[in-house]
Structure 1
Amino acid sequence: MLPHPPPQSPSVGRSTPIMAHGSLAWCLSALLGILLTPSLGLEPPRISFPLESPERPLPLFSRPDIKNTTTMLLSDDDSTLFVGAQDAVLSLDVSQPDVITMKTKMEWKPTPDDLYMCTTKGKKETTDCPNFVRVLQPINATHLYACGTFAYNPHDTYMDTDTLTMAKVPRKYNDARGRCPFNPYQRNTAISVDGELFTATTNDFLGKISMVSRHLSKDGRPDVSQDTSVTLNEPTFVSSASDTSERKVYFFFSEVGNEYSFLDEFKVARVAQVCKDDIGGERILQKRWTSFAKAELLCQPPKELPFNIIQDMFILAPSEGYPTQETIFYGIFTSQWSVASGQSAVCAFRLGDIKDVFAGNYKIFQNHQWSPRKSSNLGKCGLDNAPDTTLMAVKESFLASGSVRPMGSVPVLNSPDQRYSRIAALRTKAANGQDYTILFLLSESGFLHKAVLLNKDTHIIEEIQVFRQPQLVKNILLSTSKGVLYVGTSEGVTQVPVSQCPSYKSCAQCVLARDPLCGWDPASGHCASVSAIPANARQDVDHGNVMKECQGSLTAKPLPVEVYVQLNEVVRLNCSTSSNLATLSWKSAKGSTLPHNLFFHPRDESLVFMATPDTFGIYYCISVERGYEETAAIYTVRQSVSPRAIDTPAVQIRITTNIQRTTETKDQMTTMMEIPSDIEEKLDLINFGEDPVINTDVATNNKTPDTQSTTENLEDKTPDTNSSTEKPEDMTPDPQSSSEKPEDIVNHNEPLTAKSYQSELVAVSFLLAVCVCVLVLGGLYGWRLLGRYKLGPWDTAEGGYKEEKDPLECEPPLGSNKVSPPSIKEAE
C-alpha cells in the first residue's frame, strides 16, 4: 500500500520548489502503481431488474404538480413519510405495503416579489428561485422544523405533524441563514438532537462561507457556530451523526487540505466533532465552538490513488449487547483525478478509531508549516470555563495529527465502473446464525445495487433500476422495521423492498442468490424470508453450495420446445438465464460435442445452424454457476411438413443423381422443351451443385402440427407450415424423461409425410437425357462437316491453287452420278 503523502506546509502563498517536487514525486509513484497493478474488477450484479420490471414491481408516488421530492423523514412508527419538495411539504401514508398515498400537502411558495428579487440577482425563476425544502427534522413529538432556500433567501418554519399547518410564519430577511443553503444545489446536512438543531451549510448568497452551528439551543444557552475563516476551507458537507454516549455530534465533509502542498488543490475527506453542550468561551471563542476538531478520513486501495472526496455516509448502530465504540460509518468515496472519474469505493470506519484519533496529538500552524502539539485539553468537552491560554491553544490547534484508517486498512468495496452517490446499510442474521451486513448503493446511472459483505470479497446480489434521467439531487432513506428503502428524486418517491425472496422459483436459485435475507423452506417448497421460516432454512451465503443445501429439492427440467423448420433454413435457438454470473453452453442429444463448422455461437449465447438431416434432433442449453449445472432450455428441431402434403401411403425415397449444370445448357433446355409449371417449381428446389445428392424422406399422416419457430430462410422463402397433418406421438419428447442421459435419447429423424413425385422426376430425367443426347449428336455432326473441308486456298500437294468452295455447300453423297466441273488451270 502506498504511504499517504507526508504532511507539508499549507498552500498559503507560494509553494517552495522542494514541496512541489515532493508532491509531484508522490503523484507519479501513485500513478505508476496504478499502471503496474492489475485491476481487480468487482463481479457484476447477479440479477438485473430494469425499470418497471414485472418481476420487481416498485411502488412509485409521483404527481405532475409535485417536484424534487428529495428531503425525507420517517415518523417514529415508520407509518408516515414526510417529504420536503419544491414549494411544498408532503405527508405520505406508507403504512400499507406496495402502496404510497398522500395524506396532506402544505404549499410553501415564494411570493411574486420574492421571485422578482431572485431574478434581478441573475438567477433563473424556474430552476433557482422556487423554495426547495432542504431541512426537515423533528423538534418534539408534535412538531417538525423545516427550512427552504425560498428564492435564494432561506426561510424556516415549524409545522404540526398531523396537519402540516405552520406554527411559525417567517419574519424577516435571511431569517434562516446558516440553517439551510441559499443555493438549492449546494449540499448541506442537519440533525436534531434533544430538540436542538445542528447544521453544517453555507451562510452567504455566493456560497463561499460555510458554518457548523447549533440552533434552537435550550436551557438558556446561546447558539454557537464555527469561525470558518481558518478551520474550514471550501467544505462540502454530506452527513452528520450523534453520539449519545459522549454527547457529541460528528460532521462528514470534503475540503481543500491545507496541510498538503500540491501544484493543484488537493481535496481531503474529513470528519469533525463538536460537543453537544458547548457554549463557547468567556473572552476567547465567545459563542464559538471550543470543542471543534477535525481529522482526515483515508480510503485508499493498495497501490492506487486515494479516493479523497466523500459523497455520502451512513451510520450503522452496533449489534445488541455491543458498546457504542462498535458503531460503523460506511462512506462512499470518489477521486478528484480524471483517471478514476468513473470509479468509487466504500470504506468502513469504527467510531472507536475516530475517538482515538481525536484523543491523540494535534497540529499547529507556525512559521508557515504544520507542527505537532501535545495537549490534554484539545478535542475535549467542558472548556467553557477554561483559561484563556487553553482556549487560545484550542483556537490554533484544531487539526488532528493522525488519520482515521478504514477497517481492514482497505475499502470493503472498490468498483471500477460504477460511480456511487448514496448509501444505506443494515445488519441481519442469516439462517446459520451469523451476522451479515448488506449495503444499498445508489449509482449515478440510476441503479440501486444490493451487496453483501463477506470475509474476503463483496457479492452484489442484484441491481434495480429506479430512475432513467440523471438526477442532480437525490436521496435514499432506509426503514429497517418495514424492510423498505425509499428513493427520492425529482420524479417522485420510489419504494424498494429490501428483498424479494419469492422471485427465486427453485431451491437452486434461492441458494445461488446468496442473499442473507432469503432462504429455501423445504416444508413449503418456496424461497421466503429467513425470519418467516420456522426451521431448517436452506442457505449458503458464503459459498452458494447448491448440491449441499438442495438435496432432494433439485430443479425440474424445463418443458421441451418443438421447432419445425424447412431444409436449408437458418435455425436460431435462444437461451437466457436470469443470472449474470452463469455461463451457458449447448449440448446435443446425440452425446457429441457440436462441431464448429456446423454450429455458430453468437455473443447472445444462442445457437445458430443450418437445417439439414444431420442437424435435426434435440438440443440442451446448459447453465453453470458456482459449479452447479442445470438445464435452462430444451429444443426439439424437426423438419416441417410440406404444405402440399396429401393422404398417400407412407413411402421413403432416396434419389441420387449427378447433374452438371451450366448457364448454357439450362437456357437450351428451356428453349427446347416446355416443362409443366408444377414440375418446374420442383426443379428450382434442386441443388445443382457438384455431384449433388437429393435425399427425400417422405411419409404421410392426416394432420400437421401448428409450428412456431424463429428461423431465417436463406432462399428468402417462408414455407407455410400450417397444414393439417398430425405429428406422430413418438416424436414428442417426454418431459418426465429429461433426466435421461443424452445417449439414451432417440434422435427423432422420422420419415415425413409428403406427396410422391417419383413419376414426374423420372419423366424429367428422361427428357433431360434426350436433350443432352440431341445436343451431343448435333455437335459431333457439325465437327465432322468442318473437318472434311479445308479453308486454306493453297494446295501444297500439287503446288498450285485449289478451288475454294462454299463452306455451306455439302459433299454429294456416295454413289452420286454428279460430275464435278473441270478444273481450270491458269496459263503461264
Structure 2
Amino acid sequence: MEHQGLLSIIVVILGVMATCVARLTPRVSFPMGTPGRSLSHFDSSDVGNTTTLLLSDDGDTLFVGARDAVLSLDVSQEDAIVMRSKLDWSPSEKDLDECSMKGKKKTDCPNFIRVLQFLNSTHMYACGTFAFSPRCTYINSEMFSLVMSPSGKPEEGRGRCPYDPYQRNSAITVDGELYTGTVADYMGNRPVISRHLSEGSHVDLKLDDTLGWLEDPTFISSNFVPSEEKIYFFFSEVGREYDFIDKFTVSRIAQVCTSDIGGHRTLQRRWTTFAKAQLLCQSDHELPYNVIQDIVTLPPPEGAPVDDTLFFGIFSSQWSVNSGQSAVCAFRLGDIKAVFAGNYKVLNRDTLRWSMRVQEKVANPGECGLHNASDNTLRFVKENFLADDSVHPVGRSLTMVSPDQHYSHVVTQRVQAANGKDYTVLFLLTESGYLHKAVLLEKGAHIIEEIQVFERPQPVKNLLLSHDH
C-alpha cells in the first residue's frame, strides 16, 4: 500500500510469476525502497489466489476472498497491513474427490472465492467455486463468522458464481439483492445475467434462454447508477452482428432495471428491461481496441449533472497491428443513455442474423416499468435488445494509448491541484506489476510517475482505491 501523495492504493497479487515486460518511460520512476515511496506488503504462506477485494466504508478494513478462505485485514495504519482474522471455508475431502473424478485438476478443486459483497449493515455475502459445485454463504460482518442460510442447508451458487476458477464474473448488491453476470452450468456454456435474494414483490430474474442475448461473454464488472435505477454490466463477447469469417470480439455495456419484476405471461421471471450496446474504443479511421479488460466509474464534479458521469475503460485489440498495446477510453453516461434510447437492430430468428433495417418501435427496450406492458410489447423487447448505434468515447477519441505496455486494471479519482483546478488522475496497473500514475491534461494524458510494486515482475490481479486514505 502506498501512502504518499494524493491517494492510497491497495493491491493484492495472485502470485503467478511472469517474464519481464518492456516499460514505458514516465517522467519519474520509483524503484522499490525509494524514500518517500515506501510500500507496505502483506503475505502469508497459507494464503493464495487472493483475487476478490472488498473495502469497508471507513476504509480501515480490507476483506479479501482467497482460496478456501476469506480474510479480514487491518489497512488503517500507514506502515503495515495486519491480518485481523481468517475465515476458513473449504470443500470436504468427499467434495474434492468428486471434483477429481470429474476429470478436474486437484489444484482447481478448492473453493475460490469469486463473490464478496456487503449485503446490509450487519452481513456480507460470499460465493465460491467450491470444487466445481458453486456455493454461497452469509458472513456476520462484526463477528466475522459464517452464518447458516435460512433453509439450514448450504446455499447453491449456480448462476451466482462460476464453476471454473478461471472464468471471470461480476457481482454487485443493491438493496439486499445480488445482481450477477456469470455462467450457470458446469460446462460454462450458459452465460446469464440474473438477480438473486429477492424479497416481497420482487422475484429472482434471469435472462430468457433465447439465443443471442449473450454470445460467449467474458464479464468484467457491474455498476449501479441510482439516478437511473439501473445496473450496468460490462463485458466482451462475440459480435454476431458482424458477418466476418473469423469471430469478431466486441465490448458491450448491458443494462437492467432494479425495479424489474418480469412479465405476467411473456417473460415470466425473465428480464423485461435487458438491452445491450457496443462500446467502441476507437479513433476515426483506425481499427478499434475491441476487447475490454477493466472499467471504473468516475462520478461527475460537484454541481454537474449526473449525465456527466464517466466510465474509464482499458481495452486491448485482437488485431495484430495493435498487438501489445493498451488503450484507455472514457464514456459518458449521457451518451450511453442516448444510444439505449435510439433504434434497435432486428434479429431474424430463422437465419440468426441481425438486420440493420429499422422498424416501428412498439416500446423502448431497456425502459423501466415494462413489466406491466402487454404481451405484444414484451415480445418486441424480447427480440429487439441490441442497440443500433454504438457508444463512442468522449470526444470520439482515445484518452491515452500505451504503445508497448499491457494495462490490466484501472482506478481513477478527480483531485484538486494547488491552483484550485480539478484534474482526473488514473492509476494503471501493468501486467508486470508496475503502477503508473497518469494525469489527464488538455493536451492529453501524461504519465507523471511509475512505482515498482514488487521485487520481481508479476501480474497483479486486482486494484482497489481507498478514497478515505
If the length of structure 2 is used for normalisation, what is the TM-score? 0.90
Q: Give the gaps of 5 or more residues in structure 1.
A: 1-41, 483-828
Paired with 2:181 and 2:435, the residues of 1 have a C-alpha distance of 27
Asked if residue 378 in structure 1 is aligned to residue 359 in structure 2, the reply is no
Which structure shows the higher helix fraction?
1
Quick one: structure 1 residues 190 and 269, their matched pair in 2 at CA, closer, same or farther if it must change by over 3 Å?
same
- Do the aligned residues in 2 keep the contact of 1:49 with 1:55 (CA within 8 Å)? no
Residue in structure 2 matched with residue 593 of structure 1 by the alignment = none
Residue in structure 2 matched with residue 360 of structure 1 by the alignment = 342
Structure 1 position 227, deviation (Å): 2.4
Aligned residues: 439
Residue in structure 2 matched with residue 116 of structure 1 by the alignment = 97
- Do the aligned residues in 1 keep the contact of 2:24 with 2:405 (CA within 8 Å)? no
Residue in structure 2 matched with residue 295 of structure 1 by the alignment = 277
Residue in structure 1 matched with residue 240 of structure 2 by the alignment = 258
Asked if residue 79 in structure 1 is aligned to residue 60 in structure 2, the reply is yes
Q: CA RMSD in A?
A: 1.7
Residue in structure 1 matched with residue 407 of structure 2 by the alignment = 420
Structure 1 position 131, deviation (Å): 0.8
- Do the aligned residues in 1 keep the contact of 2:136 with 2:154 (CA within 8 Å)? no
Residue in structure 2 matched with residue 157 of structure 1 by the alignment = 137
Paired with 1:243 and 1:173, the residues of 2 have a C-alpha distance of 32
Structure 1 position 233, deviation (Å): 0.3
Paired with 1:439 and 1:242, the residues of 2 have a C-alpha distance of 21
CA displacement 1:550-607 (0-9 Å, x = unmatched):
xxxxxxxxxxxxxxxxxxxxxxxxxxxxxxxxxxxxxxxxxxxxxxxxxxxxxxxxxx
Paired with 2:75 and 2:93, the residues of 1 have a C-alpha distance of 35
% identical equivalent positions: 58
Paired with 1:121 and 1:385, the residues of 2 have a C-alpha distance of 45
- Do the aligned residues in 2 keep the contact of 1:347 with 1:406 (CA within 8 Å)? yes
CA displacement 1:514-549 (0-9 Å, x = unmatched):
xxxxxxxxxxxxxxxxxxxxxxxxxxxxxxxxxxxx
Structure 1 position 291, deviation (Å): 0.4
Q: 2:435 corresponds to which letter in structure 1?
A: L
Q: 2:229 corresponds to which letter in structure 1?
A: R
If the length of structure 1 is used for normalisation, what is the TM-score? 0.52
Residue in structure 1 matched with residue 467 of structure 2 by the alignment = 480
Paired with 2:52 and 2:396, the residues of 1 have a C-alpha distance of 33
Paired with 2:159 and 2:254, the residues of 1 have a C-alpha distance of 18
Q: 2:359 corresponds to which letter in structure 1?
A: R
Structure whose CA Rg is larger: 1
Structure 1 position 339, deviation (Å): 2.9
Structure 1 position 469, deviation (Å): 4.8
Asked if residue 66 in structure 1 is aligned to residue 52 in structure 2, the reply is no
- Do the aligned residues in 2 keep the contact of 1:421 with 1:444 (CA within 8 Å)? yes
Q: 1:267 aligns with which of 231, 245, 249?
A: 249
- Do the aligned residues in 2 keep the contact of 1:115 with 1:125 (CA within 8 Å)? yes
Q: 1:338 aligns with which of 298, 320, 331?
A: 320
Paired with 2:125 and 2:153, the residues of 1 have a C-alpha distance of 17
Matches within 5 A, 1:688-767: none
Q: Helix, strand or coil: the match of 1:401?
A: coil
Matches within 5 A, 1:147-546: 147-168=127-148, 175-228=156-209, 229-366=211-348, 368-370=353-355, 371-375=357-361, 376-467=363-454, 468-471=456-459, 474-482=461-469
CA displacement 1:761-798 (0-9 Å, x = unmatched):
xxxxxxxxxxxxxxxxxxxxxxxxxxxxxxxxxxxxxx
Higher relative contact order (CA 8 A, sep 6+): 2
Q: 1:435 corresponds to which letter in structure 2?
A: D
Structure 1 position 470, deviation (Å): 3.7
Residue in structure 2 matched with residue 106 of structure 1 by the alignment = 87
Structure 1 position 52, deviation (Å): 4.2
- Do the aligned residues in 1 keep the contact of 2:148 with 2:154 (CA within 8 Å)? no
Structure 1 position 275, deviation (Å): 0.3
Q: Helix, strand or coil: the match of 2:44?
A: coil
Structure 1 position 369, deviation (Å): 4.2
- Do the aligned residues in 2 keep the contact of 1:153 with 1:174 (CA within 8 Å)? no
- Do the aligned residues in 2 keep the contact of 1:153 with 1:173 (CA within 8 Å)? no
Q: Helix, strand or coil: the match of 2:206?
A: coil
Q: 1:455 corresponds to which letter in structure 2?
A: E
Residue in structure 1 matched with residue 112 of structure 2 by the alignment = 132
- Do the aligned residues in 2 keep the contact of 1:104 with 1:163 (CA within 8 Å)? no
Q: Helix, strand or coil: the match of 1:325?
A: helix
Paired with 1:434 and 1:427, the residues of 2 have a C-alpha distance of 10
Q: Which region of structure 1 is more displaced relative to structure 2, 236-245 or 95-104?
A: 95-104
Structure 1 position 356, deviation (Å): 0.6
Paired with 1:300 and 1:184, the residues of 2 have a C-alpha distance of 32
Residue in structure 1 matched with residue 73 of structure 2 by the alignment = 92
Structure 1 position 322, deviation (Å): 1.5
